[in-house]
Amino acid sequence: MDPLPIKQEEKNIGQPLRVLADSSYSITIEKVEKRLAEDLESPSAVNKAAFLKADEVSTLQLKFSVLLEQDLLLLPDSKLLAAIDPWMGVRYRSGGTTTQGIDCSAFTASVLSTYAGVQLPRTCREQFQQYPKVDKEEIQVGDLLFFRTRGRSVSHVGIYLGNNKFVHASSSNGVIVSSRSEPYFSTRFVGARRVPSLSPSESAF
């Protein structure tokens, strides 16, 4: 089956953007921005910045540093983060392929198409079946994580971003960052797959 066209449209200005900071709660972008401001004022932030070129530390990288609870130097490739960022907070819609509503497999397909020009199969099950298995201990940034959230077959997919975090289109919260160790996901994890043509970087710099 040919992949459905996936495009990014303008998001509604008033649409709330939600992300998971950990397994127990969601936070708003406003709270992320507040945390960023606090981090930038801390001595550790100054020390980190001393090792970086000023123009290399972007708002995008700072934002994902908070979301992933990850040091700036350990963030995924900034090109990958840039492909993800426009989708953050977009609501879930079964069969959806735009920023007016998107489902989990359309989200992974869109991000990896933007990031690396890779055309993934349209459905979660097809993505799971097409790519080689990755051992749990060998999962790396950019790998696809699959879950069994309903029925007996694979029914959900996200993209691993490091530090035990992954981004996905949640049916209840839209596109968010979640933790693999969250009980809901750890008990429903089926496996990981690697798209061979991807060569994600361990660092954003």
> Which one is catalytic: 18, 122, 156, 194?
156
In this prediction, residue 31 carries a pLDDT of 56
Asked if 176 contacts 168 with a C-beta cutoff of 8 angstroms, the reply is yes
34 plus 75 within the same structural domain: yes
Q: Catalytic residue at 121?
A: no
CA angle (161, 79, 157) in 5-degree steps: 40
Is residue 164 pLDDT above 60, yes or no?
yes
Residue 6's pLDDT is 43
| 168 given a catalytic annotation | yes
Residues 101, 66: one domain? no
DSSP string covering 7-71, please? Answer: ---PPPTT---EEESSSS-EEEHHHHHHHHHHHHHSHHHHHHHHTS-GGG--HHHHHHHHHTT--
Domain tally for the chain? 2
Query: Is residue 25 over pLDDT 80?
Result: no
User: Is residue 22 pLDDT above 60, yes or no?
Assistant: no
Asked if 154 and 182 sit in the same domain, the reply is yes
* Stated pTM of the model: 0.74
Classify residue 7: in a domain, yes or no: no
pLDDT number for residue 152: 86
Which residue range is the domain that position 179 belongs to? Answer: 90-193
Is the pLDDT score of 34 beyond 80? no
For residue 55, how many other CB atoms are within 10 A of its CB? 6
Local structure of 127: helix, strand or coil: helix
pLDDT at residue 38 greater than cutoff 90? no
Max CA distance (Å), the chain: 53
Selecting among 72, 80, 104, 159, the annotated active-site residue is 104
| Angle (CA) 187 27 86, round 5° | 90
Residue 159 or 200, more confident: 159
Is residue 138 domain-resident? Answer: yes
Q: Report d(CA 3, CA 142) in Å as an integer.
A: 20
Last residue of a domain, one of 83, 115, 138: 83
Pick the more confident residue, 20 or 65: 65
**Lowest model confidence (mean pLDDT) among 54-63, 89-98, 120-129:** 54-63
Statement: residue 62 has pLDDT above 90: yes
Same domain, 188 and 94: yes
Residue 104 annotated in active site? yes
- Active-site pick, 165, 168, 180, 194: 168
What integer is the mean pLDDT of 55-70?
87
| Pair 95, 79 in one domain | no
Q: What is the pLDDT of residue 21?
A: 36
